[in-house]
Amino acid sequence: MPNPSSNSAFIRGLMIFCRLNCFIWLAVHYGYGRAYSCGTSALSILKPGQSKSRKYRREELELSIVEEILFVGIEGLVHCYLVGGVLWSVHAHCFLYTFELVGCFKPDMYVLRQYKDRLRLQIGFCFRKFSAITNLELDGIATSDYITWVGKSANPVPLLHETMQRCARTHAVAEGKACHAQILIIGLRSDTLTSNMLINMYSKCGLVDCARKVFDEIPERSLVSWNTIIGSLTRNGEEREALGLFLQMRREGNSLSEFTISSVLCACAGKFALFECKQLHAFAIKLAMDSNVFVGTALLDVYAKCGFIKEASCVFECMSEKSTVTWSSMVAGYVQNAHYEEALMLFRKSQIMGLEADPFMISSTICASAALASLIEGNQVHAVLCKTGFGSNIFIASSLVDMYAKCGSIKEAYTVFRHIEEKNIVLWNAMISGFARHAHSFEVMILFEKMQQMDMFPNEVTYISVLSACSHMGLVGKGRKYFELMRTEHNVSPNIVHFSSMVDILGRAGLMIEAHDLIKTMPFDATASMWGSLLASCRIHGNLHLAEIAARHLFELEPNNAGNHVLLSNIYAANKKWEEVARTRKVLKESQAKKERGKSWIEIKNKVHSFMVGERNHPRIAEIYSKLNELVEELKKLGYLAKTEDDLHNVEESQKHELLRYHGEKLAVSFGLMCLPSNAPIRIMKNLRICGDCHSFMKLTSSFTRREIIVRDTNRFHHFKNGCCSCRDFW
């Protein structure tokens, strides 16, 4: 490629022998900029060009310079020419546009402040550019300045529209009303477009009544007017009014669009109005709009929110065109309806098809992995997340922390937490909750203090986790301290969950009477969860009297929960009250209540293996039984003795030994020892509380095999390592 400097003689010759006009300078400038990829040489001849051709087509020269800047990125030099008083025209916005594209925004602001009178005709353009870039916090140029410029502008309408958009984005109520006043002064009350923008602005600011008033005053409402007000009402929780306006719209014979149907469907979703949704579905089919991507997405969303996941899935499958939002809504629908495996399968399908996941789809998929306690799936989603670049999203990071904690990998949860620089209260709460769930009470207290040092004050969710940590570790004094602190220091009023945590703290510590007194004196009606906590504490400490009181309340609140009958029966059995055991079991048998069967599961090579007590259906069950029997014999040499008192069936001692040996978690850990690498932790999930015998078994197994075993039951995670458990035998 020739060197531009070699042509300097040619340029000098042109300057000597020719009176260059603008077109020659444009040609030379463009040639240097494109043919030689050299903006410096092109700009070096700009000064002579300015002096010789200043009377001519400066606009074309500016446009050429803009292209040059985009090509070589030397916006600073052009700005110097600009501020020096050259090239000012109605096309000065080209320079501003260039600065935006190359990422140099401060010169824009300088230009706007220094030359705002010159740029009066172009101020709307500049305003639009700045609003998109800086969210309209423009170094002291307030919305009121722009409103003032409206009166000076030759064409105020575009600037008014830009100002209203700014007010909508920043929720600037006072400025928005000032804008409305300017509209009335100018006489734009009857302008439909302006009224539509006013409706949108008021709705974004939460002033639904003002939006409705503007709508009612529009003399000739367009389809956009109806769509805007219906969408505004839906966004602000006025779904019934939105549905009413839709009916009015139909009565008046107004035409409909896909946006109208989708907005009304969103209103149905907000009110879980299944009947109206089905009517709209039929109406959309009649208008041949059901295949539209917006209508279809809204349809499956409302079906999913109303609990009709099969109908939502049918709508999804019938859609010929699907957007990212469609896929995301379907994944979220599966998660909302506890169809976690289907959510993960759909996410995998979207990845196979090469679709780019959005933050909402990723967040929903992470929640599905957390619900299934599937660490492998969670790791895979995390890998996809790293590729998409959404890793810094604070809400996704919070979901990741929660997922890793629920999957038993608290170290990975903390790693994600540490790598997020700007932490919000949701992320702090997720990490504190994770530590509490894993019985890391010391870490909970440290984080609780650290977040306050960073001016992040705890809320009611934070205190639930802190009190839960105190409960798990039996820290009665700490629990009382924090329960008082939340009211006096942080002005957080205790809700029913906080009182329930305090009942659990007192009950687990054996302070049964005090726990019962708290239930009787608190300003809420006791929930089933609270009475259940007291009943469980009665079992631990053998308080038969309070157990019967708690059970009576539970039978009234949860008549179909067989677990309450079984727990009371077990308390009677522990106290050798066999007649009461028989009576309780008879009542259970005659009722419609069903007892949930205990189940444990383990994930190996991306497949979940489930085990019930005495499981016989697993394809490798013979090997598993053999491995478990060998392990039991080895543990007996270390002092293991089955705790038959944990089996409360009225059977012979030998039968109790047999029942205890083949509990689901023991079968799961045996299978894990068979299949997992020797350095990998064994993670087991359980749907019921782990019994005392299995707890002792896991401690000895971790010592004998030198493996870390993590068991999640209904209450917490138990980390067994070197013969010890993280719960310190308090659970």
Contact yes or no for 230/263 (Cβ under 8 A): yes
- Residue 190 within a domain: no
390 and 456 co-located in one domain: no
Q: Which domain holds residue 357?
A: 329-422
- Residue 220 within a domain: no
What is the Cα gyration radius of the chain? 35
Tell whether the model's pLDDT for residue 644 goes beyond 70: no
What are the φ/ψ torsions at residue 562 (nearest 5 degrees)?
A: -70, -20
457 and 511 co-located in one domain: yes
Tell whether the model's pLDDT for residue 7 goes beyond 70: no
478 and 516 co-located in one domain: yes
User: Which amino acid does the sequence have at 418?
Assistant: R
- Residue 126 within a domain: no
What's 500's domain CATH number? Answer: 1.25.40.10
- pLDDT tens, 265-274? 887 776 667 7
Rounded alpha-carbon distances, angstroms, from residue 216 to 85, 164, 221, 237, 701: 50, 19, 9, 19, 74
Q: Which of 40, 70, 104 is the last residue of a domain?
A: 104
667 and 565 co-located in one domain: no
User: 182-186, 228-232, 422-426, 477-481 — which is least confidently predicted?
Assistant: 182-186
585 and 452 co-located in one domain: yes
Q: What is the pLDDT of residue 566?
A: 80
Contact yes or no for 166/136 (Cβ under 8 A): yes
- Residue 313 within a domain: no
Please, is 708 exposed, middle or buried when counting C-beta atoms within 10 Å of its C-beta (0-12, 13-18, 19+)?
A: middle
455 and 581 co-located in one domain: yes
Q: 360 or 123: which carries more pLDDT confidence?
A: 360
Spatial CA neighbour of 14 closest among 59, 45, 54, 60: 45
Q: Which of 548, 571, 590 is the last residue of a domain?
A: 590
**CB burial readout 72-101, b (16+ within 10 A) else e:** beebebbbebbeeebbbeebbbbbbbbbbe
Contact yes or no for 712/703 (Cβ under 8 A): no
User: Which amino acid does the sequence have at 338?
Assistant: A
Tell whether the model's pLDDT for residue 81 goes beyond 50: no
Helix (H) or strand (E) holding 695: helix 692-705
Spatial CA neighbour of 624 closest among 633, 606, 611: 611
Tell whether the model's pLDDT for residue 66 goes beyond 90: no
Spatial CA neighbour of 484 closest among 498, 497, 474: 498
Rounded distance between C-alpha atoms, residue 178 and residue 143, angstroms: 10
Q: Which of 88, 104, 120 is the last residue of a domain?
A: 104
- Residue 322 within a domain: no
Tell whether the model's pLDDT for residue 100 goes beyond 70: no
Contact yes or no for 558/528 (Cβ under 8 A): yes
534 and 619 co-located in one domain: no
- Residue 301 within a domain: no
Q: At 214, list the tokens.
A: 């503007």
384 and 492 co-located in one domain: no
Q: Span 375-381, mean pLDDT?
A: 90
**CB burial readout 649-679, b (16+ within 10 A) else e:** eeeeeeebeebbbbbbbbbbbbbbbeebeee
Rounded distance between C-alpha atoms, residue 183 and residue 642, angstroms: 83
Helix (H) or strand (E) holding 685: strand 682-686
568 and 605 co-located in one domain: no
- pLDDT tens, 498-524? 999 999 999 988 999 999 999 999 999
- Residue 521 within a domain: yes
- Residue 161 within a domain: no
Answering whether pTM is above 0.75, one says no
337 and 459 co-located in one domain: no
Percent of the chain predicted with pLDDT > 70: 75
452 and 405 co-located in one domain: no
What are the φ/ψ torsions at residue 306 (nearest 5 degrees)?
A: -85, 0
How many folded domains does the chain comprise? 4
pLDDT classification of 93: cutoffs 50, 70, 90: very low
608 and 483 co-located in one domain: no
